[in-house]
A = this chain, B = another copy of it.
């Protein structure tokens, strides 16, 4: 089956918003095994819209529209598609009652214009919208079909997932399941290790690059949901076998979620002592609902006096080793443990730039330490986060490494580089 996506909206043509709907629909269609030949964005000129719909219908089996379902006279997508598909619209009392009720909830009454939103296909069918006023529509004409969805991404995605996707699964005679494996590290290092796994046709695997990590989306088609899920799980296991510890979780929004879950499962508390990341690690941890069970104290010790006063770092140590150094990072982590009573701590000091480079320590040099109250041990790593990276990227990568250090300490995994220090052992400069 071939498809094309037609987004209707002046705000897209003016560049007021970025077209995330086209990406979402393209990815979903690809997962269904439907080839997307063409994406378009058009305005509300009726003659031009009609020409485009006619051409697209000749070219492709399925047309997916988003936008153009509003109440104003300019919104003519549904009327135009109805004409091209030769399917008249009729007034639907149930939809009209829903629109009236929707307005009533916010103390308003619909205008005469809103009546056109209650018009639905006679031969095709409506796609009810439980998330807004305008229902969508489904048209068919021989082998050709069209799905009309609203432009608001939240409404469009919900209606797609609840109504259009199942309909297409039935047409494609299959069920689909996806899983997203999250992996620390860049696309090229992952591709080098797992190249053959990306060649698979069912399940498919696609990689999406994020700051300091990547998402691998695995999608399987099968006759049943359980079958598709099993295929996915097997392929994810193959990736895990190749990628090892760096593959940290499946279907989570990010590493902080994994860290909070792991700490919760083990009844552990973590604390943070941050200089160059300025609260970013604490912010990521507390963005996870329920973080209060595992995180109580965070120290943003941006000034040297803050490191001494809040964490008890010896000013003489800062004087001797420089504030951006391994010994200071370790003293910050150990000081945070003492000041908070937590089980685990991280300490971060570094140069996020753009200014402030030191001899032998360019911008992007970050010392990251972990301390474990259960063993008295500490970990220390010196990061060199590329010389051409922006301040915000340096901070984001340092925070991600810090979360990974917490994860590794929680799971008892070996550190990803650097040294492990016993209690009382001298801290190297690195």
Chain B residues near A42 (CB-CB < 8 A): 37-38
Q: Mark A298-313, 1 if CB is under 8 A from B, else 0.
A: 1111110110011000
Chain B residues near A339 (CB-CB < 8 A): 309-310
Pair B40/A12 contact, Cβ less than 8 Å = no
Chain B residues near A43 (CB-CB < 8 A): 37-38
With A287-B391, A395-B287 as known contacts, state yes or no: A306 contacts B302, CB within 8 Å.
Answer: no
Interface of A is mostly: mixed
The answer for the CA separation of A289 and B353 in the assembled complex, in Å, is 7
> What's the number of copies of this chain in the assembled complex?
2
The answer for the CA separation of A386 and B92 in the assembled complex, in Å, is 33
Residues of chain A in range 163-179 having any CB-CB distance to chain B below 8 Å: none
Give the residue of B15, B29, B208, B310 whose beta carbon is less than 8 angstroms from that of A27. Answer: B15
- Closest Cβ–Cβ distance, residue A283 to chain B (whole Å): 4
| Interface size of A as a range | 35 or more
Give the residue of B24, B279, B303 whose beta carbon is less than 8 angstroms from that of A15. Answer: B24
Pair A19/B13 contact, Cβ less than 8 Å = no
A278 at interface, CB cutoff 8 A: yes
Pair A285/B291 contact, Cβ less than 8 Å = no
Q: Mark A25-50, 1 if CB is under 8 A from B, else 0.
A: 11111100000111111110100100
With A42-B38, A279-B282, A297-B302 as known contacts, state yes or no: A19 contacts B15, CB within 8 Å.
Answer: no
- A residues adjacent to B (C-beta < 8 A): 12-20, 22-30, 36-43, 45, 48, 206, 208, 272, 274, 276-283, 285-287, 289-292, 295-303, 305-306, 309-310, 339-340, 353-355, 391-392, 395
